[in-house]
């Protein structure tokens, strides 16, 4: 089982739709969580950190469920510019720190 798993998609949604991505992690030593966005042939860029209390940044909402070991990203009112791959990132603390990247979920927003 992969340490961080994401549905690869692609998710094809119309403009204005709400779309949700989930990411599961297997190691209970996971301590920090992030969502990154990666455009085609570009570097990943931090979208948002994920906190236990949940956090919102405009149209984006991230949630963490430690009991079930998953994090989620909700995008409301999708824009064409939201089309990208969304990477789930988990940092483990097992004596040393290790960053694990999910393979990403591809999103296409269409007019």
Partner 1 sequence: DGGITQSPKYLFRKEGQNVTLSCEQNLNHDAMYWYRQDPGQGLRLIYYSQIVNDFQKGDIAEGYSVSREKKESFPLTVTSAQKNPTAFYLCASSITAAQETQYFGPGTRLLVL
- DSSP labels for 61-105? EEEEETTTTEEEEEE-S--GGG-EEEEEEEEEESSSEEEEE---E
- Bridge partners (DSSP) listed for residue 61: 56, 74
The residue from 46, 51, 77, 79 that contacts partner 1 (CB under 8 A) is 46
| Residues 3-32 as x/- pattern, contact with partner 1 by CB under 8 A | -x---x----------------------xx
The residue from 20, 42, 66, 77 that contacts partner 1 (CB under 8 A) is 42
Q: Which stretch binds partner 1 (CB under 8 A): 20-28, 40-48, 51-59, 72-80?
A: 40-48
CA-to-CA distance for 26 and 85, rounded, in angstroms? 22
The residues of the shown chain that bind partner 1, judged by CB under 8 A, are 4, 8, 31-32, 34, 41-46, 49, 87, 91, 93, 96-97, 99, 101-104
């Amino acid at each position: 089982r992969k340490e961080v798993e994401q549905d690869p998609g692609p998710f094809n949604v119309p403009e204005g739709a709400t779309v949700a991505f989930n990411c599961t992690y297997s190691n209970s030593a996971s301590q920090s969580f992030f969502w990154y966005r990666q455009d085609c042939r570009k570097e990943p860029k931090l979208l948002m950190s994920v906190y236990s209390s949940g956090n919102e940044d405009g149209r984006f909402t991230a949630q963490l469920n430690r009991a079930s070991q998953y994090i989620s990203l909700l995008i409301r009112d999708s824009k064409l510019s939201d089309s990208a791959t969304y990477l789930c990132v988990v940092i483990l603390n097992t004596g040393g720190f290790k960053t694990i990247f999910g393979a990403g979920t591809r999103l296409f927003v269409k007019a």
